[in-house]
Structure 1
């Protein structure tokens, strides 16, 4: 849409049909917008519940655009601004009419913002509050109209085609931004569209589905529309776009190419090797091996000079995706042209003139994992493992970290700051597991844009100076908010002055080896862990078994214990699945895909359960050392028990996901739980504790309200949709009647609801005591007015010595408060009603 700033590429050839020929009867009065469906003889309740099949498609589509686009304009804008249909319509040579927004900002939004700014504060607050009610209703409708069908049914598509919905969403989003005045400071910028059409357009342009999926739910509609104007990314080597036809939402097929590559297509330069034996020696001595590229002279060929990092020899650590050409699974070697390119970039960071000779003392030093982590793990197994454990120290002690990505390499010196920010967000680099820590621990960051390393500080300063026109500054601010959690995060450096308690041996030895992570605290809080897992939920790793050791580095835990647990598990699997595997390699360096064997039992492609269990135990031990004044002890976000997906199989850890990395399925959980919980029944406000492993090994101890199922009054099977009736023992803020949808867990435990619940009271004595079933609810307050909330169905297995119930998770429930007199027919059926008794808000559960 024309009111949004355009990137350097070609705008997508999207056309938005205009179905409306004249303005409707809506004036600027808000109530008339709410009543307009009734004026047009449409039942709003049918619209509210998306019963599209009840309306004639062609007429209804015109009504929706009339209501959600032009009607919304007239309802929100003051009477002084006259809305003209012709200002938003363009006609092509064939007489076809399409929506345009090229006059929206200058002729409508700017005059409106001026009127708002001149209003008395109280009047402005009242007006913007009324506008929010209209905009929220329009947003809900636009969002559901923009969604592609997820399942087969008699009415696959909504009545308004996606090309007509998108302008409504863009307009509504723009109005929401303008309605958020500086005084109210309330930007109603929730999702106006699912983004299905935008994602489809990006993939048609040639963007990788893996990249598109990564930004689909992470940015608002304005930012995503700007992404579509950047143009299809190319590679510097071939100057042509990559072919992503074989890519999926969970993996970019192009990242499977890992052989070392030259900087240009027809280059045939020689290969350079570092002194691997000296590199290994440096690692054994807890030093950082660094390199310089020495250009050819009259008496010698080009080579790599070796050195050790110390206070007098600063170095640059290179952060990259192996598939972009700097990786090499065959060994510690790289093409001459790549080493030369790195040296030129590093010299520019250190401000070394081009004409100076890069001798042993003249050029800048740099570290690259391809060359500085021994690849021969059969000969240098201990050095390889120790190099991985030193990763955090390497990036933390580097003078700078240089980010290299193939998408940014195709830019040039004239590329705008906004486009650099967007290209980085759409890069493969930002979605890789190992790259996350490399930005976390950096002192300073440079991004290689074309052949020029740009300082991140300079990029951030330039982003602040971007103009407001075309929402450039807003887009930049949203992108910078994403990077603020990635680069220099303060949260990862939380320290406490208290002396830690003495550690037990074995699992309790959470400190890193001496010299590996100096001067950092081992304490872990829920806030830290939430931030880390949130970032990982959008990342992938080719070798998923790297995840536990990478997390241990991020959380400053004992990576060696995690490595040993993973290795021991691999050896056990090798004995069962591949007897000869123990004599070969146990895995490629970080970021390198494991080659699948002909046997289907590829143990490198599944998460390491032993590694994750060890990681969780170490994190729990660190959380127990957290000083009491910081938070109630514990570090696990309690909401980790709610998401669906595959979970660990080990007893006491079946509440935990097998992996926190992106898998295409929804794995995220809410980290916005209140720190204080007010119990209205006793008029007491308590600290809400973080999750902590039960010392009796019954699972994760969490505090949540819940409901014990007391009765299923039925002689028929219970359906997957049913009503919870807790009206006999109501509790303030909790729904008396709520509708549930049950989903069994992917693995183990529950089975279908019909298999869990008894069919009648008489059966309950034979199957199980009804008080053995309970529901843990993800929330503490005002659930009776919530649109929906998550919960899980559990089986009560006993009482924990530490207090509360020990339970086993069976499946997930999604609930919504439902009025007793709701006219849904299925709600009246007695066999769909389950009675329950509420437990206190401070109920403790040990969930396995």
Structure 2
């Protein structure tokens, strides 16, 4: 796995991978048949029964490396593999190395005829299932291969999947926000913790990036302003190390003598007047006779830089709108430095490169340069500015959001517009401020995923809506990271075929680094559709097309925004709904209405404004809204909706579900089952059911807050008691072939009697039968182990749903089913 780059200058390396194999993989043998040819049972493997025919532990480990590493490589690339090409015999004992051999094999594969992509996808999917089985065994205390060997298989699988996808199966899809899931590594997690990464940051890395990029991150030591021990109370769901205490919070000084440092108050009368006029207040800082003066103006007349920061770094102020002069001077200096940085970047851009697409500088920026009258006049203007320092215009919450509730409501309602309309957004984070500009862009961007700035809810909205002109302040005086420019370079590198084969590890890291920031761009694009001007085509089709496009974009933005907010913290839980509304493109009026809604009602108030939601949101774990009569249509909604987890499979990133709570609830298309009456009451943890010859274990979400039987009773319908149960499954291949070692999200529902000529009737527009049901709880489908049948769990059979005159019947056609979930 040493084809993955290591962060330079820190002295960290990857754990060595021992070479265990005793023979070369037989390239004539199909991947799925290799175990049986060696007298081993894959079915027993999937059931985590690893007493493989009396073989020793060393023999089993050697076989698994041959099959899952060398066999995967050979079958995926469709070339014979000599294992000795991947062994460093200079080490004692010999170790596995991919640095030189993997690029050679990728080039060899590219020169051949590679067209059977479905077969390769199937091989990679099968290998991933067996890898997850090894991880489950490791968690259960059965270590079949050394942790570094397992990690090397995960890294190889994720590398092949990414490289082959981008090179052969599709163009690089920047909307594909779900990275391929090869599981997590205990070894890698321990290394990240040793490097100072918070457990919450590690969870975010795994949910955003593939294993190779996380491996690269494990060589980056953190440089936070707080000690590692401060993260002792953190969890995967959130970081609490930098949570502020409003009773003891103090604004930080950046001068040598804080006692003599003056305090400057915000010009609140001007700020309030701008808010009353319906605009965004802009703070103007001018310097005259070594004195800083503050005034306010409207965004309609003043271009400004929006400052994005976290209060734990000391730029906040409790109870007042003021900052010390040293901080005002610092903001003034940083904003001037950003202006000079952007100007120099535009001016030095090669015009030929811009028009030929070889430059990262947008042509629009060059057009703005034409407003000036040549370089000489620019130099003269700069000299004049140095003689008479210019006014710096910026927006920062500490000074531009008044404390009185009415004005605070106006300012917060325009928060999304504030960052979307800013000419530049400057990120100030204490860790990034200590880093030199000379560090590689990939390292800086990955490090950003673990900063205090990245852990907050509000900053995610600020970064997303300002992503087109997002800059991160670094050390070295005027050092600035231009995020957009860095992403353009990394996209280009990841999509370059020569780079892909010559340095596949760097290509995968670049591609994965781009993924998260690409998600922020999707949020920005969805927000931009709110007020887009109609083109000629759109004028012809009218407002209906405009509204449909906007509502569809909002569903995609909601999926991305929920993923962006996952695991992030906010001082006031209700603020997350305000951010969410702004990120999906709802206007200031909607945000203001949410501001005036009690926190417990904000989830419903937000959803009431959405026509579509992400399709996979129905599988989100977590405690749900109370199943009261007035909650019908909302039973699937997480009580803390902004913490919902949206399931995004690689082929479902754009899919949405229609939400009409008054007429059936959430309409989704997924395969699923109808259960025959179970033998015995629902047990507290799981139940078992059989479809054809395949057994499924359905485990309840532990966070649902009630026992499964209580939830079923609460969903009881007057027309049918007890209710018939069904299972909505997220993946059709699991319905057809069983879990096969995977853990698949699903949902338990109670089926309602078939509705006669309702508003939608028996069939939808495509002729699909509809299943009307009520949500019970989230499930996880997996392969049951022998001991699961011995613990008294409820057991039953299942089939496919089909409504007839005698009620719900069972059939076995594996097609997506239309479900209306209330």
TM over 0.5: yes
How far apart are residue 438 of structure 1 and its match?
1.9
Judged with a 3 Å threshold, the aligned counterparts in structure 2 of structure 1 residues 136 and 755 are, in CA distance, closer, same or farther, namely: closer
Judged with a 3 Å threshold, the aligned counterparts in structure 2 of structure 1 residues 815 and 521 are, in CA distance, closer, same or farther, namely: closer
Distance 1:465 1:557 in 2: 33
How far apart are residue 230 of structure 1 and its match?
1.8
Distance 2:33 2:40 in 1: 10
Q: Show structure 1 runs of 5+ residues with no match.
A: 502-510, 512-519, 570-607, 624-634, 677-687, 726-734, 758-763
Query: How does 1:7-46 map onto structure 2 within 5 Å?
Result: 7-12=7-12, 15-16=15-16, 18=18, 20=20, 24-31=22-29, 37=35, 42-46=40-44
Q: Does 1:690 align with 2:642?
A: no
Among 775, 785, 792, which residue is 2:747 paired with?
792
Given that 2:728 and 2:746 are in contact with CA atoms closer than 8 Å, whether structure 1 keeps it comes out as yes
Given that 2:309 and 2:315 are in contact with CA atoms closer than 8 Å, whether structure 1 keeps it comes out as yes
Distance 2:197 2:386 in 1: 39
How far apart are residue 27 of structure 1 and its match?
4.4
How far apart are residue 312 of structure 1 and its match?
4.6
Q: Which residue of 2 aligns with 1:115?
A: 108
Given that 1:740 and 1:816 are in contact with CA atoms closer than 8 Å, whether structure 2 keeps it comes out as yes
DSSP 3-state at the match of 2:480: strand
Q: Which residue of 2 aligns with 1:487?
A: 521
Q: Which residue of 1 aligns with 2:647?
A: 669
Judged with a 3 Å threshold, the aligned counterparts in structure 2 of structure 1 residues 337 and 6 are, in CA distance, closer, same or farther, namely: farther
Given that 1:68 and 1:138 are in contact with CA atoms closer than 8 Å, whether structure 2 keeps it comes out as yes
Query: How does 1:266-345 map onto structure 2 within 5 Å?
Result: 269-295=261-287, 297=289, 302-345=291-334
Q: Does 1:617 align with 2:602?
A: no
How far apart are residue 219 of structure 1 and its match?
0.9
DSSP 3-state at the match of 2:609: helix
Q: Does 1:346 align with 2:335?
A: yes
DSSP 3-state at the match of 2:608: helix
Which moves more between the two structures, 836-845 or 647-656?
Answer: 836-845
**Deviations, residues 198-256 of structure 1 (Å, cap 9, x unaligned):** 12211122112221111123211211111112222234xx8x87843333323323322
Whichever structure has more helix as a proportion of its residues is 2
Judged with a 3 Å threshold, the aligned counterparts in structure 2 of structure 1 residues 98 and 241 are, in CA distance, closer, same or farther, namely: farther
Q: Which residue of 1 aligns with 2:625?
A: 648
Judged with a 3 Å threshold, the aligned counterparts in structure 2 of structure 1 residues 770 and 265 are, in CA distance, closer, same or farther, namely: farther
**Deviations, residues 678-703 of structure 1 (Å, cap 9, x unaligned):** xxxxxxxxxx983222336x644555
DSSP 3-state at the match of 1:231: coil
TM-score by length of 2: 0.75
Q: Which residue of 1 aligns with 2:440?
A: 416
DSSP 3-state at the match of 1:839: strand
Distance 2:166 2:469 in 1: 36
TM-score by length of 1: 0.73
Among 241, 244, 262, which residue is 2:231 paired with?
244
**Deviations, residues 804-843 of structure 1 (Å, cap 9, x unaligned):** 676432233445799xxx999959x998333556227787
Among 368, 373, 382, which residue is 2:406 paired with?
382
Given that 2:24 and 2:66 are in contact with CA atoms closer than 8 Å, whether structure 1 keeps it comes out as no
Distance 1:110 1:183 in 2: 16
Given that 2:581 and 2:590 are in contact with CA atoms closer than 8 Å, whether structure 1 keeps it comes out as no
Q: Which residue of 1 aligns with 2:358?
A: none
DSSP 3-state at the match of 1:406: coil
Distance 1:186 1:785 in 2: 30
Given that 1:148 and 1:157 are in contact with CA atoms closer than 8 Å, whether structure 2 keeps it comes out as yes
Judged with a 3 Å threshold, the aligned counterparts in structure 2 of structure 1 residues 773 and 533 are, in CA distance, closer, same or farther, namely: same
Distance 2:33 2:732 in 1: 35
How far apart are residue 283 of structure 1 and its match?
1.7
Q: Which residue of 2 aligns with 1:372?
A: 400
Query: How does 1:553-568 map onto structure 2 within 5 Å?
Result: 553-557=582-586, 560=589, 563=592, 567=596
How far apart are residue 372 of structure 1 and its match?
0.8
**Deviations, residues 250-292 of structure 1 (Å, cap 9, x unaligned):** 3323322453223478865433322223322222222332224
Judged with a 3 Å threshold, the aligned counterparts in structure 2 of structure 1 residues 57 and 130 are, in CA distance, closer, same or farther, namely: same
Judged with a 3 Å threshold, the aligned counterparts in structure 2 of structure 1 residues 770 and 837 are, in CA distance, closer, same or farther, namely: farther
Distance 2:235 2:16 in 1: 28
Judged with a 3 Å threshold, the aligned counterparts in structure 2 of structure 1 residues 481 and 266 are, in CA distance, closer, same or farther, namely: farther
Q: Does 1:473 align with 2:453?
A: no
Distance 1:716 1:182 in 2: 49
Judged with a 3 Å threshold, the aligned counterparts in structure 2 of structure 1 residues 171 and 12 are, in CA distance, closer, same or farther, namely: same
Distance 2:635 2:188 in 1: 38
Which moves more between the two structures, 196-205 or 286-295?
Answer: 286-295
Among 631, 634, 639, which residue is 1:658 paired with?
639
Among 489, 496, 503, which residue is 1:462 paired with?
489
Distance 1:204 1:233 in 2: 13
Q: Which residue of 1 aligns with 2:416?
A: 392
**Deviations, residues 545-590 of structure 1 (Å, cap 9, x unaligned):** 1122222223343655665566463xxxxxxxxxxxxxxxxxxxxx
Given that 1:549 and 1:559 are in contact with CA atoms closer than 8 Å, whether structure 2 keeps it comes out as no
How far apart are residue 88 of structure 1 and its match?
2.8
How far apart are residue 790 of structure 1 and its match?
4.4
How far apart are residue 382 of structure 1 and its match?
0.7
Given that 2:46 and 2:133 are in contact with CA atoms closer than 8 Å, whether structure 1 keeps it comes out as no
Q: Which residue of 1 aligns with 2:253?
A: 262
**Deviations, residues 431-471 of structure 1 (Å, cap 9, x unaligned):** 42222322333352222122423333432343356565363
Q: Which residue of 2 aligns with 1:743?
A: 700
Distance 2:264 2:314 in 1: 14
Judged with a 3 Å threshold, the aligned counterparts in structure 2 of structure 1 residues 315 and 476 are, in CA distance, closer, same or farther, namely: same
Judged with a 3 Å threshold, the aligned counterparts in structure 2 of structure 1 residues 113 and 266 are, in CA distance, closer, same or farther, namely: farther
**Deviations, residues 48-91 of structure 1 (Å, cap 9, x unaligned):** 33223566445433443454445656777788864327833553
Query: How does 1:790-829 map onto structure 2 within 5 Å?
Result: 790-796=745-751, 801-803=758-760, 807-815=773-781
Distance 2:119 2:747 in 1: 37
Among 44, 47, 59, which residue is 2:45 paired with?
47
Given that 1:16 and 1:98 are in contact with CA atoms closer than 8 Å, whether structure 2 keeps it comes out as no
Distance 2:679 2:667 in 1: 32
Judged with a 3 Å threshold, the aligned counterparts in structure 2 of structure 1 residues 843 and 2 are, in CA distance, closer, same or farther, namely: closer
Given that 1:69 and 1:171 are in contact with CA atoms closer than 8 Å, whether structure 2 keeps it comes out as yes
**Deviations, residues 626-674 of structure 1 (Å, cap 9, x unaligned):** xxxxxxxxx1234433332112225222221122444xxx832347787
Given that 1:403 and 1:448 are in contact with CA atoms closer than 8 Å, whether structure 2 keeps it comes out as yes
Judged with a 3 Å threshold, the aligned counterparts in structure 2 of structure 1 residues 139 and 306 are, in CA distance, closer, same or farther, namely: same
**Deviations, residues 585-611 of structure 1 (Å, cap 9, x unaligned):** xxxxxxxxxxxxxxxxxxxxxxx2212
How far apart are residue 771 of structure 1 and its match?
5.7
Given that 1:30 and 1:75 are in contact with CA atoms closer than 8 Å, whether structure 2 keeps it comes out as no
Q: Show structure 2 runs of 5+ residues with no match.
A: 173-177, 344-380, 494-498, 533-537, 761-769, 804-814
Relative contact order, CA 8 A, sep 6+: which one is greater?
A: 2
Q: Does 1:145 align with 2:165?
A: no
